[in-house]
Amino acid sequence: MEIGDYARYKNTGTVGRVVAKQQEAGVEWIELDNSLLYNAAYLEAASESDYKASSVKDRAVGLSLEEVEEMRKELMKAERHAFATGGGGG
């Protein structure tokens, strides 16, 4: 992979553009445009369309205020569920 290429981290599906490369202790590390370093062995080539599809900013374009509010409500509901106790004690 070269600087400017698109790459996908196999473990999470994170897609980014390669901005830097470095070697350390025999391991090639690649920095993506999210400012994180990844072991090159765990990256695979991706396309520009993969990159755009994974961008939160791109996914949010065109959402109505009502859609954003519905997403906020769903998130709050999920957070309440995550903190609920199993014994019914609240």
What are the tens digits of pLDDT across the range 51-69? Answer: 876 765 545 556 677 777 8
Give yes or no for a contact between 45 and 4, defined as CB atoms under 8 angstroms apart. no
Domain ranges across the chain = 6-59
Provide the whole-model pTM: 0.59
* pLDDT tens-digit series, residues 7-44: 999 998 889 999 999 999 999 999 999 889 999 999 99
Q: Could you tell me the two tokens for 83? A: 């903190």
Whether the predicted pLDDT of 82 surpasses 80: no
CA distances from 80 to 7, 10, 19, 21, 76 (A): 35, 31, 39, 42, 6
Considering only residues 41 and 87, tell me which one the structure prediction assigns the higher pLDDT: 41
